[in-house]
Amino acid sequence: MKLSVAWLRELVELPTEIDAIVDRMTMLGLEVEDVASVGLSYPHVVVGHVLDAQPHPNADRLRVCRVSVGDGELNIVCGASNVRTGLKVLVAKPGAVLPGDFKIKKSKIRGEESHGMICSERELGLGDAHEGILELSEGDIGQPADALYGFQDTAIEIEVTPNRPDWLSHIGVARELGAFYEKPVSIPDVGQLPAVGNDDAGWRVDIVDRSACSLFTGRLVDGLAVGPSPLWLRHRLLSIGQRSINNVVDVSNLVLHECGQPNHVFDRQLLSGMEIRVRRATEGEKLTTLDATERELAAEHLVIADAEKAVALAGIMGGAETEVTTATTEAFVEVAVFDPRVVRKGRRRVNLVSDASYRFERGVDFNRVEWASQRVAQLLTQVAGAKASDTVIRTLGDAPPKPARFFVRASQVNRVVGVPIPPQDIAAMLGRLEIPASAVTNDGAPGVAVEQPSFRHDLLEEVDAVEEVARLYGYDRIEVMPHAPMVRPGVRSDRERFVGRVRERLAGRGYSEVVYTSFMNEQDPDRLNLPATDTRRVTVNVLNPLVVGEEALRTSLVPELLRIVDRNRKRGHTDPVRLFHLGRTFEPRAGETLPCEVERLALAWNGSAHKAHFDRPARDIDLYDVLGETENILESMGVDAVRNVQGGEPYHRNGAGVVIESRDGQRLGVVGEIAPSVRRAFDLDQATFVAEFDVDALVASGRSDLGFQRFSMYPPVRRDLSLLVPSAVPYAEVVGCLRESLDPLLESHEVFDLYEGEGIAANERAIGVRLVLRSQSGTLKDKKVDGMLSRLLTTLEQRHGARLRA
Amino acid sequence: MQQQIQSMMERALSEVAQATDPDALEETRIEYLGRKGKLTSLLRGLGSMDAAERPAAGQALNRAKEAVKVAVDERVTSLLSAQDDAPLTIDLTLPGRASRPGSLHVLPQIIEEICEIFHGMGYSRAVGPEVELDEFNFAKLNFPDDHPSRDLQDTFYVNDAVVMRTQTSPVQLRYMQEHEPPLAIVSPGRVYRHEQIDASHAAEFYQIEGLFVDHDVSLADLKSTIHAFIHALFGEDKKLRFRPHFFPFTEPSVEVDLWWESDRKSGWLEIMGAGMVHPHVFANAGYDPDRYTGFAFGMGIDRIAMVRHGIPDIRLLYENDLRFLRQF
């Protein structure tokens, strides 16, 4: 909402400096969005007198005028039909710049010299009239236009929080500033309020839905002369960014921005019957609103209707049919209070926010209604030559608001604000905000009795008044203590520790952390090749997605991770790509309102295994790199993980995915290569690998007690075995035999060679295994080792048909 | 004999002097001084000599051995030192062999930093669901049903009763329902707003929420906490401004502005919202509002990242271009 500083100054005395006012507003809670100079100024535009106007020799519609501008005469070609000798006009001389950066220069029009321009209202930015040039009744020849039409003001745009609808008006903001500066607010004098009646000249008002409208007033105004508004009114509206329409509409608008009370003026002659009804719309009823849109109404809309039909959407917008026009002479001025929820529902349904609906939704001042009605009548009398009726038709609905009355403990103010403020001071502060308050004692407790003013919908109980006291006392005056309060040292959960460590480690190993959307594309389950029965096809969906097709919350971190790999490749990233992401997946739970949110860790690999170097050419990353990396990371996190090769994901390449489990068979996650078809679906042209883990499962299987493990001080024995093993026997089986035969002396084993091909039977492969054996209790003797290895070889032979390579 | 020793020693010394590398020298040493070396063999010949000549010959032999040994050692040292000092002729400007370090995303980095600061101030971390009951996200946080305050946050709806949380504040309620005061928690996490995405708006972003509840907690405590925190995060010299604001779940409510100076612009920058926990929220969490007071605060992580690092467009945070990620 925009505020005019000049207008505010008329209502309350304010500091000269705009900055001081803006700072104060900010510190009172009025959020200032923008401060701008506004106004109209017309250098090189002066009052002129048309000495004569001759037809243009070469153009039918143009005239060549001789215009006196005080210090001389100008020859000006003018196209307006109303230009004639003797007219007093505004002349833009060469050098003038009119609104819209319209520069006036000497020119030749159809062969005739023209030294300026005679202006219309629109060219001056004063209004919409552009049919002809502006005809002046006042002003001296040569007088600068600024003296007649110019004005300067500052517009402050504020954002008003929903709790303070009273700030949606100049009077409301003036009241707030007055309270701070301790200056009285001078509300315009509207004279004696007229008598109140149930009807006037046969006109009556019937509130059918009494819960939706607590007060409705109507005022009959006759003898209107609808026309342009006087300058002061136009300037006022221009200052706050409102267009001038005509004197009647402008008055209605002005009163809204002055006191915050919406109101509407109907052309009374266009209303049928002499009865106004405030009722619900019938289903499908039609109304064309002022914005020339035909709207189909529903039962949740409250309308103002005449004897026949709806003529306005109550509290939202008037109807076009009964709008005030230049032909209007008799008006019906409506000022009412509508239920905030009813207006809110209605305007949401028609998807229309107006100045009126905005205020009704937040709450207007019940006790300001009759004043506003009188103010409209007063101004119409003043600027449109009208005569208002002596009576206000006033009809009450259900339940006029009852002010809340409550007690504010001085101790509570002290407790919350942290500053002791005596009850008398509290009462005085509230009093300055026009909140009735008096220092009293309640049950022996000193405090303040408060009554809610009708313009403060937010003041309902003690805490609301405490805030007012804090605000007026000034948040900036509350002292900062040297120590922040503390209850006990903070604690960290296992998950928090785990996640913190794994992130650091991954980054240290060359992985970049990525952060991305929780939504997935509806086609992602297909792209991932998930079978129809896969639970990841069952998603939590939002009803109002930003993008159609992206309503589902992700059930896997993989799809978007693949897109990120792809994006980086497309943008020319050539180095190895190693990414990780920590985030949640969402799984609906039968019988539960909220889904299960699973914290997951995903990793992606793509490209070469390492950066190319001059003596070490790049090599494509493969599954063994990925498995090794993954297991290394898990091991470093204290997770004792094993591979289950009987698993993998539907999106894994056939035979290239494993499930990672804890020793006790708990599923931790999966690692594998993306299937070529899935890769194509994500537009990736290189081999890509992903892993996805359940973080809580990792945390649970990680070593939480970091107990010391004894290690041997005796020398190790190394032995290399070159084994011939049938190809069908997986290495894990060999390891099983190693463990069985050599534990607890087996310290480590590694595959230093793997060979299939020439020199070896087709169904066999040679595996070179390097063993490290060590005893906790003494130096191992060769003889003992030889004995154990020979037992190992027997086992390998008997169980798997493996033997030493000759 | 003496002569034999003398000539053998001279031969040995001359071979030592001519040796050009430590390996050849070692061979020379073994040739003369080894177990079967030439000088060593002479020593064995002493046994067959006259007893009278034996001591003198023995002494001469020992002197000769010692002289050769010293010469060998000296020659080794001098040869090694010449070898050690020989320059390595490689191109020292060629690139090293290394894998690139990874990176931590700037948003979680800032979350961790903030949590670390609050950890030091006695706060523990709490988490809550991102798909949240409307009741917890709004109603119990004192957002009246169908009230304009709900327009402050455009919402993704899962159904009438379930929303994507628009703020981390519901965690306050969930935590209070399960814990008794005094308490101090921070809760970082992802939040969702149904907003069109542009340079300064994302539909999914990060917030961190704080809650402190005890007997007699005041606005002064809140201010002191925020000051301590901001100074830890942005520097001791930073100026702050507390101005009144409105949040349904706190009263009084404040907005905190940070004085920020950069090449482009200087001025007050809205950095966080805060306030005293509204008694209705306490009541909804099962606390007695007369027994406890407390404060809550919340801030946008994305905004802090953008301000601190001069990131011009929020979308950069979620695009995950490696050239962006590696900068932090």
Q: Is the pTM of this model over 0.90?
A: no
| Residues 208-267 in B contacting A (C-alpha not used; CB under 8 Å) | 212, 214, 216-221, 223-225, 227-229, 241-246, 251-255
Which one of A475, A476, A597, A605 would you mutate to disrupt binding with B, by most B Cβ within 10 Å of its Cβ? Answer: A475
Contact B97 A361 (CB under 8 A): no
| Residues 397-416 in A contacting B (C-alpha not used; CB under 8 Å) | 415-416
Instruction: Please name which of A730, A648, A661 lies closest in space to residue A689, comparing C-alpha atoms.
Output: A648
Instruction: Name every residue whose Cβ is closer than 8 Å to that of residue B237 and which is 6 or more positions away in sequence.
Output: none
| Mean pLDDT across A470-490 | 91
Q: For residue A691, how many C-alpha atoms fall within 13 Å in the half-sphere facing its CB?
A: 29
The predicted pLDDT at position A121 comes to 83
The predicted pLDDT at position A130 comes to 65
Q: Does residue B321 belong to the interface with chain A, where contact is any CB pair within 8 Å?
A: yes
Question: Does the pLDDT at position B161 exceed 70?
Answer: yes
Instruction: Name every residue whose Cβ is closer than 8 Å to that of residue A679 and which is 6 or more positions away in sequence.
Output: A562, A685, A687, A688
d(CA B305, CA B317): 9
- Angle subtended at Cα A67 by Cα A62 and Cα A71, rounded to the nearest 5 degrees: 155
C-alpha of A576 from chain center: 38
List B210's β-bridge partners, or say none.
B186, B297
Of the candidate ranges A8-12, A466-470, A785-789, B263-267, the one whose mean pLDDT is the lowest: B263-267
Contact A418 B221 (CB under 8 A): yes
The predicted pLDDT at position A704 comes to 61
The predicted pLDDT at position A17 comes to 96
Instruction: Please name which of A567, A480, A457, A728 lies closest in space to residue B256, comparing C-alpha atoms.
Output: A480
Chain A residues within 8 A of B239 when measuring between CB atoms:
none
Cβ pair A660, A668 in contact under 8 A? yes
Instruction: Name every residue whose Cβ is closer than 8 Å to that of residue A590 and which is 6 or more positions away in sequence.
Output: none
Please tell me which residue of chain B has the smallest CA distance to A562.
B320
The predicted pLDDT at position A129 comes to 65
Please tell me which residue of chain B has the smallest CA distance to A564.
B320
Cβ pair A85, A50 in contact under 8 A? yes
Question: Does the pLDDT at position A706 exceed 80?
Answer: no
Q: Does residue B84 belong to the interface with chain A, where contact is any CB pair within 8 Å?
A: no
How many Å lie between the alpha carbon of B40 and the closest alpha carbon of chain A? 37
Please tell me which residue of chain A has the smallest CA distance to B128.
A597
Query: At A728, is the pLDDT very low, low, confident or very high (cuts 50, 70, 90)?
Result: very high
Query: How high is the mean pLDDT of chain B?
Result: 91
Which amino acid is it at A675?
A: A
Phi, psi of A33 (to 5 degrees): -90, -35
How many Å lie between the alpha carbon of A565 and the closest alpha carbon of chain B? 9
Query: How high is the mean pLDDT of chain A?
Result: 93
Contact A593 B326 (CB under 8 A): no
Under DSSP, is residue A463 helix (H, G, I), strand (E, B) or coil?
helix
The predicted pLDDT at position A702 comes to 83
Contact A491 B124 (CB under 8 A): yes
Instruction: Name every residue whose Cβ is closer than 8 Å to that of residue A134 and which is 6 or more positions away in sequence.
Output: A89, A90, A119, A120, A121, A124, A126
The predicted pLDDT at position A274 comes to 93
Query: At B146, is the pLDDT very low, low, confident or very high (cuts 50, 70, 90)?
Result: confident
Q: Does residue A348 belong to the interface with chain B, where contact is any CB pair within 8 Å?
A: no
DSSP symbol at A12: S
Model confidence pLDDT, tens digit, residues A548-581: 999 999 999 999 999 999 999 999 998 899 999 9
Contact B157 A544 (CB under 8 A): yes
Please give the interface size between A and B, counted as residue pairs whose CB atoms are below 8 Å apart: 239
Please tell me which residue of chain A has the smallest CA distance to B276.
A416
Chain A residues within 8 A of B179 when measuring between CB atoms:
none
| Residues 510-549 in A contacting B (C-alpha not used; CB under 8 Å) | 510-519, 540-546
DSSP symbol at A475: G
Query: At A40, is the pLDDT very low, low, confident or very high (cuts 50, 70, 90)?
Result: confident
Contact A515 B124 (CB under 8 A): no
- Class of the CATH-defined domain B106-325: alpha beta
Q: Does residue A473 belong to the interface with chain B, where contact is any CB pair within 8 Å?
A: no
Contact A575 B100 (CB under 8 A): yes
Model confidence pLDDT, tens digit, residues A288-297: 999 999 999 9
SS (H, E, C) chain B: CHHHHHHHHHHHHHHHHHCCCHHHHHHHHHHHHCCCCHHHHHHHHHHHCCCCCHHHHHHHHHHHHHHHHHHHHHHHHHHHHHHHHCCCCCCCCCCCCCCCCCECCHHHHHHHHHHHHHHHCCCEECCCCCEEEHHHHCHHHCCCCCCHHHHHCCCCEEECCEEECCCCCHHHHHHHHHCCCCEEEEEEEEEECCCCCECCECCEEEEEEEEEEECCCCHHHHHHHHHHHHHHHHCCCCCEEEEEEEECCEEEEEEEEEEEECCCCEEEEEEEEEEEECHHHHHHHCCCCCCCEEEEEEEEHHHHHHHHHCCCCCCHHHHCCHHHHCCC
Instruction: Name every residue whose Cβ is closer than 8 Å to that of residue B162 and which is 6 or more positions away in sequence.
Output: A593, A594, B131, B132, B133, B134
Domain ranges of chain B: 2-85, 106-325
Query: At B17, is the pLDDT very low, low, confident or very high (cuts 50, 70, 90)?
Result: confident
The predicted pLDDT at position A705 comes to 64
Please tell me which residue of chain A has the smallest CA distance to B228.
A484
Contact A481 B216 (CB under 8 A): no
Chain A residues within 8 A of B99 when measuring between CB atoms:
510, 576, 610-611
| Residues 548-607 in A contacting B (C-alpha not used; CB under 8 Å) | 553, 564, 567-568, 571, 573, 575-580, 582-584, 586, 593-595, 597
Please tell me which residue of chain A has the smallest CA distance to B133.
A594
Token pair recorded at residue A100: 């819209």
How many Å lie between the alpha carbon of A507 and the closest alpha carbon of chain B? 4
For A162, which of B130, B217, B246 is closest by C-beta distance? B246
Contact B320 A564 (CB under 8 A): yes
Question: Does the pLDDT at position B92 exceed 80?
Answer: yes
| Mean pLDDT across A369-391 | 95
Chain A residues within 8 A of B221 when measuring between CB atoms:
418, 481, 484-485
Question: Does the pLDDT at position B44 exceed 80?
Answer: no
How many Å lie between the alpha carbon of A559 and the closest alpha carbon of chain B? 14
For B244, which of A361, A475, A506 is closest by C-beta distance? A475
State what percent of residues in chain B have pLDDT above 70.
Answer: 100
State what percent of residues in chain B have pLDDT above 90.
Answer: 63
Contact B322 A475 (CB under 8 A): no
Contact A162 B107 (CB under 8 A): no
Model confidence pLDDT, tens digit, residues B99-140: 888 999 999 999 999 999 999 999 999 999 999 999 999 999
Which one of A480, A499, A575, A695 would you mutate to disrupt binding with B, by most B Cβ within 10 Å of its Cβ? Answer: A480
